[in-house]
Amino acid sequence: MEAVMNDTAKVVLDGQEYELPVVTGSEGEKAIDITKFRGSTGYITLDSGYKNTGATKSAITFLDGEKGVLRYRGYPIEQLAEKSTFLEVAYLLIYGKLPTTEQLTGFSTNISRHTLVHEDMKRFYEAYPSKAHPMGVLASMVSALSTFYPESQKPNRPIEAIDLTIVRLLAKLPTLAAWSYKNSQGHPVIYPKNSYNYCQNFLHMMFAMPTEEYELDPVVVKALDQLLILHADHEQNCSASTVRIVGSSHANLYSSISAGVIALWGPLHGGANQAVIEMLKMIRNDGGNLQKWVDKAKDKNDEFRMMGFGHRVYKNMDPRARIIKKACDDILNKLGVVDPVLDIAKKLEEVALKDEYFVSRKLYPNVDFYSGIIYRALGIPTNMFTVMFALGRLPGWIAQWKEMIENKEPIGRPRQIYVGENERNYPG
Ligand code: ACO
């Protein structure tokens, strides 16, 4: 489906009127097309943080932040989370339609066959300090993949070469992620097992030891698969935009994804899931006075922010948070886990949602508010939470990169309003 141009907007500058095309998307979203604005007027538009700037026309994910709607390729997230699998969703996002049974089998088998990483890459792990954050390790290992597959750097590669890079990324990211964790523990790495499905294999590489098999629990495997689906894409967020902008210089896909991993790491983005658990533990250790922390979050002179609350786009409950909150209760029940941090989270949500500050700013819990509690129940250590997010987000990043390349989008290069010193002479 193409965006329609059937209207115009008028801008008056210095007494002169200019007409700008209005673009309408398939869900009725409207934008003023300013591509030629500077050329005809000499003005640029200013929008720090791109809060109101459409950087692209995209057919991958639709979200309506006012109504709390999220759809991948038109399918509601609620239906995908309930009925689909992560690899099926990955195929959907990347190739635009649900795979046939045969296509899905081929895709999954192909991924299983590429899970090993070059033995030389294993040596890199030995050089990282044991305290290295797994996100830092993951980003550099993903970028290092490009050095092992130099053909991925050629522009105008045939489509089969791009497909192979996509399969390699999906196959190797769990291996690299699990090995980052093993490295942080000082434990030997565990090799992938092709007979396992995607999530089983990841859990096996995370938790098995050379001395002991890891017993797979179907509840844990299913919960992980669902979490990955919920994180799989979220249109033009910080990391997806990073992947698109890095890729727009025709940097290779591995390096573009590596940049996405780094963008995701920040606590205002994917790093929030780790920050939420650290915050909840801090509140508990401080005696559990919730009002005190809500007041601190409201105080503009206090740097404390309520992690896991607020979202650039959702001004209503994040639909993923709604699904995760319910999944959280189910999983903790099924696994028989009692987590005092969950109680604090629920009470904190209750207090915050009644508070005028949060209500008037439409600050609701986001996807990261409850995901960390599930990860804890699944046995995933806190410093791996954002890595889990990266595993889930990978198909979205790939889809965003592929769309940008296929649309032949120009190199990303914003403008600025210069507010520095005027020309002055170097002293002496
Ligand atoms: N705690 C306290 N106040 C907040 C919070 C919060 N978590 N989030 C927003 N606000 C306030 C802001 O101070 C601002 O108040 P003001 O209007 O009085 O100045 C108002 O709400 C609007 O917030 P902005 O920061 O302008 O919103 P923005 O869209 O720039 O930021 C963000 C969105 C970064 C997600 C922000 O809400 C935040 O920092 N949240 C905490 C971190 C977090 O959970 N990040 C995960 C996001 S989901 C994801 O990326 C996967």
- List pLDDT tens digits, range 44-72: 999 999 999 999 999 999 999 989 999 99
How far, in Å, from the CA of 308 to the mean position of ligand 1? 9
pLDDT at position 416 is 97
pLDDT at position 160 is 87
CB-based contacts of 9-12 (< 8 A; 24+ apart in sequence):
11/41
Cβ atoms within 10 Å of 125's Cβ, excluding its own: 17
- Of the ranges 87-91, 255-259, 285-289, which one carries the lowest mean pLDDT score? 285-289
CB-ligand 1 contact for 209 (6 Å cutoff): no
Q: Using N-to-C axis directions, what is the helix angle for 198-207 and 218-231, rounded to 10°?
A: 110
Q: Is 329 a catalytic residue?
A: no
pLDDT at position 184 is 87
How far, in Å, from the CA of 48 to the mean position of ligand 1? 15
How far, in Å, from the CA of 321 to the mean position of ligand 1? 16
Q: Is 250 a catalytic residue?
A: no
Q: How confident is the model at residue 202 (pLDDT cuts 50, 70, 90)?
A: very high
Tell me the per-residue pLDDT of 109-162, one tens digit each, with 9 for 90 and over: 999 999 999 999 999 998 998 889 999 999 999 999 999 998 877 767 788 889
What residues contact 395, with CB distance under 8 A and at least 6 apart? Answer: 89, 90, 93, 94, 170, 232, 233
CB-ligand 1 contact for 204 (6 Å cutoff): no
Alpha helices by DSSP H, 319-366: 319-335, 340-354, 356-360
Percent of the chain with pLDDT over 90: 81
Token pair 């979200």 is found at 63
CA-nearest residue, atom 8 of ligand 1: 310
CA-nearest residue, atom 29 of ligand 1: 312
How far, in Å, from the CA of 309 to the mean position of ligand 1? 7
By most ligand atoms within 8 Å of CB, the mutation choice from 77, 306, 318, 348 for ligand 1 is 306
CB-ligand 1 contact for 308 (6 Å cutoff): yes
pLDDT at position 159 is 85
CA distance linking residue 329 with residue 195, whole number of Å: 31
Q: Which of 262, 257, 60, 252 is nearest to 172 (CA)?
A: 257
CB-ligand 1 contact for 272 (6 Å cutoff): yes
- What's the mean per-residue pLDDT of the chain? 93
pLDDT at position 153 is 75
CA-nearest residue, atom 12 of ligand 1: 361
One-letter amino acid at 423 equals: E
Does the pLDDT value for residue 218 go beyond 70?
yes
Higher per-residue confidence, 339 vs 242 = 242
Please state, in angstroms and as integers, the Cα–Cα distance from residue 385 to each residue in 151, 264, 273, 366, following that order: 32, 11, 6, 15
Tell me the per-residue pLDDT of 14-39, one tens digit each, with 9 for 90 and over: 999 999 999 999 999 999 999 999 99
Helix (H, G, I), strand (E, B) or coil at 250: coil
Question: Residue 29: which H helix or E strand, with range?
Answer: none
One-letter amino acid at 321 equals: A
Tell me the per-residue pLDDT of 302-358, one tens digit each, with 9 for 90 and over: 999 999 999 988 988 889 998 998 888 888 888 898 888 888 998 999 999 999 999
CB-ligand 1 contact for 311 (6 Å cutoff): yes
Exactly one of 133, 231, 269, 311 is catalytic; name it.
311
CA-nearest residue, atom 45 of ligand 1: 268
18 beta partners: 11
Does the pLDDT value for residue 6 go beyond 80?
no
- Of the ranges 4-8, 178-182, 276-280, 384-388, which one carries the lowest mean pLDDT score? 4-8
Cβ-contact 317, 68 below 8 angstroms: yes
Average pLDDT over residues 279-307: 94
Structural domains present in the chain: 4-69 (2.20.28.60), 74-414 (1.10.580.10)
Phi, psi of 5 (to 5 degrees): -115, 105
By most ligand atoms within 8 Å of CB, the mutation choice from 241, 312, 356, 391 for ligand 1 is 312
pLDDT at position 2 is 64
Tell me the per-residue pLDDT of 363-400, one tens digit each, with 9 for 90 and over: 999 888 889 889 988 889 999 999 999 999 999 999 99
3-state helix, strand, coil in the chain (%, to 5): 55, 10, 35
Burial bucket for residue 259 (CB in 10 Å: 0-12, 13-18, 19+): buried
CB-ligand 1 contact for 260 (6 Å cutoff): no
Nearest atom in ligand 1 to 51's CA: 29
Percent of the chain with pLDDT over 70: 99
